[in-house]
Chains A and B, each alone.
Chain A
Amino acid sequence: MTVVSEADIVGVSVTDITDADTKTGGRIMPESSERGSLTEAVYYILLSLYQPMHGYGIMQTVGEWSRGRVILGAGTLYGALNTLLEKNWIQTVAVVGDSRKKEYVITEIGRQQIEDELLRLDERLTNGRRVTGGDEG
């Protein structure tokens, strides 16, 4: 009765691929793979941006939420933010009084990605609990 969906096995995401990769002949994935799971970094970055926040704030928030398990590297965060901006999953907001410091916030498309991810996570959790006997239902 074990149900394992293909998406769970593959679990690939295109979100970490930047413009530079596609330009330098890196792996280009078809649009359909966008339906795959988000990486943990992308998931938490998007989630933290339900509130407008700057880079350091994102790192702090994600660190707190995961109780220090997910420590985003500044370079990783920078790359991910640029990719998310390109995809319009997030946008920048002007910070009053400081033109250099950028804040980011999630867009409608981004929220949809989170909603989809929650469904996938829910399914994973339900199946996982059922198979391992942690839950009857």
Chain B
Amino acid sequence: MKKIIHKAYWNPDKEQQWLNELAAKGLSLSDYSWCRYVFEETEPGKYIYQIELLKNKPGNPESELYLHFLEDAGVEIVAIYMRWVFLRKKAADGPFAIYSDCESKIQYLNRLKNFWTGLLVLEFSAGLFNLGISILYLLNAGLMAESPFPWVNFLGGLLCTGIGIVFFFTLLRPVYLQILKLRKEQALHD
């Protein structure tokens, strides 16, 4: 029996937590495409899920090598969406974490940090550019009296800037704090 759930997540940590909660109840993810999760019914708690951001695009030879390695190591690749991969392992085979020591965890978090930073730069430039247009209109209101206020730019800019701020606090900042924590930890342990 298949079950399809349409849902939008922007935070992969939350998404992973949700998938694992459902897997514990017997709904195991079997495929993903944009905002569309396909589940199969399995015995509760059969799988543990992990979401990872690949270093390179999925078609890249290096990514292929890595994904083959994961499969050889007993990890099942459930779905690939852009640079994101949904991985699972049978819970009976023990705990499932892709990275097991400080250094490799930090390396992965740095990859995430760069990814979110890139996204944020896009959001803020789009947002501030459009807000800028609206402000420019207000400053020169006299000159442009006959053209109407650029509502599309104003609202679009406001939206992009807002999304940027939300992403900063929910995505980039937690990753950054985790890196700091691990660096401290690393002074004591592997």
Bind each other: yes
Residues on B with C-beta less than 8 A from A71 are 94-95, 97, 100
- Interface size class on chain A is 20 to 34
Q: Tell me how far the C-beta of B105 lies from the nearest C-beta in chain A, rounded to whole angstroms.
A: 8
A78 touches B94 (CB 8 A): no
Q: Chain B residues near A21: list those with CB within 8 A.
A: 107
Instruction: Judge whether A79 and B107 touch: CB under 8 Å.
Output: yes
Report the separation of the CA atoms of residues A87 and B131 in the bound assembly, to the nearest whole angstrom. Answer: 52
Stretch touching chain B among A28-36, A52-60, A114-122, A129-137: A52-60
- Docked CA distance A101–B68 (Å): 9
Is there an interface contact between A56 and B74, defined as CB atoms closer than 8 Å? yes
Binary per-residue interface labels of chain B (74-109) against chain A in the complex, 1 for a CB within 8 Å, 0 otherwise: 110000000000000000001101111101100110
Q: Is A41 an interface residue (CB 8 A)?
A: yes
Closest to A100 in B: B68
Q: Flag if B190 contacts A55 (CB, 8 Å).
A: no
Q: Do the beta carbons of B100 and A76 come within 8 Å of each other? A: yes
Interface SS of chain A: helix, strand, loop or mixed?
helix
Answer whether residue A75 sits at the interface, using C-beta atoms and an 8 A cutoff.
Answer: yes
Name A76's contact: one of B52, B68, B99 (CB within 8 Å): B99
Once bound together, how far apart are the Cα atoms of A16 and B72, in whole Å? 22
Judge whether A97 is part of the interface by a CB distance below 8 angstroms. Answer: no
**What's the least CB distance linking B189 to chain A, in Å?**
9
A41-B190 contact, Cβ under 8 Å, with A73-B100, A75-B52, A75-B98: yes
Binding site for A on B (CB under 8 A): 52, 55, 66, 68-70, 72-75, 94-95, 97-101, 103-104, 107-108, 190
Chain A interface residues toward B at CB < 8 A? 16-18, 20-21, 39-41, 54-56, 59, 63, 68, 70-80, 100-101
